[in-house]
Amino acid sequence: MRSLVLPHIPFLLPELGGDKISSLIPDLFSSLNDIHDDLLKFPPDVILICSPHFNSETFRIRITDTCTGNLQSFRRPDIVDIRKSHKKLALYLQQRGEELGFLAGREDEMNVILDYGSIIPLRIIDPNSRIPIIQISTSMGTQQEHLDWGKKIAEIVKEKNDNVLFIASTELTQDFQEETNAFPFEKDDDELFLKLLSSGDTEALLKFPLSYFAKTEQSLKPIYILSGFSDQLTGKIIDYSGFIGCGCAVVKFE
């Protein structure tokens, strides 16, 4: 099993100008390219992805044959992303999770829309949609509950398939600015958070100051699911860059 933290700012995509700004944030683009190349050499059988833009009152799992979305939010409805879903494993995850006390609801065919927080990193690391996906939502629950759900997800998927990649798609703190390579004002806090995450110090992550999360999306709940999922893995910070005032991290667990 493997896991990644990846950013989802749309302007990272070449279709939205990424090629024009890559020289201003070279380390971030280089790191994303390396992840892309790694997946070509050692592709997972399935990608589980969690984005703050797929959220619900309770945990949800999208169970469908195909996931489709576009970038209409960024005036590019012509950029359509279609991906095969790993329906069999998604069903097993939902049903087995219920047996183990995690009542994760299911999002069926009619409601399936691939959110941009999932589309962006997937188009960067798997532009040809070769790898089937499963979308995992955040919930209104606590960070502890998200961490516990991540541990349970890892336990369940191991029963069926060990060649799984989990992606937490999110930025860290956000202070939007015009300068392309601007860091957020909370850069030092971001770097401390990443250090705790990569070292597996979940106790310290759960005690991180609440004021920090006011500048984040969904209190970084996708990362807390990833932290639980990666409990038995070794983390490494590949890059932390500033991009239009947002903290963009690439973190790998193996």
- Domain CATH for 81: 3.40.830.10
Residue 174 neighbours by CB distance under 10 Å = 18
* pLDDT level of residue 109 (50, 70, 90 thresholds): low
Q: What is the mean pLDDT of residues 180-193?
A: 97
Domain containing residue 187: 2-253
For residue 147, give both structure tokens: 């961490």
What integer pLDDT is reported at residue 105 of this predicted model?
A: 72
pLDDT band at 108 (very low <50, low <70, confident <90, very high): low
For residues 81 and 69, give the distance between their C-alpha atoms in angstroms, rounded to a whole number: 5
User: E strands along the chain, which residues?
Assistant: 2-6, 46-55, 60-62, 66-71, 76-84, 105-107, 133-138, 164-169, 235-243, 246-253
What's the confidence (pLDDT) of residue 112?
A: 61
Structural domain total, the chain: 1
**Alpha-carbon gap, residue 56 to 8, rounded angstroms:** 19
Of the pLDDT bands very low, low, confident and very high (cuts 50, 70, 90), residue 110 is: very low
Task: Please give the average per-residue pLDDT across 219-248, as a whole number.
Answer: 97
Q: Are strands 133-138 and 46-55 parallel, antiparallel or unpaired?
A: parallel
Q: What is the pLDDT of residue 129?
A: 96
| pLDDT tens sequence across 125-163 | 999 999 999 999 999 999 999 999 999 999 999 999 889
Section 115-127 average pLDDT: 97
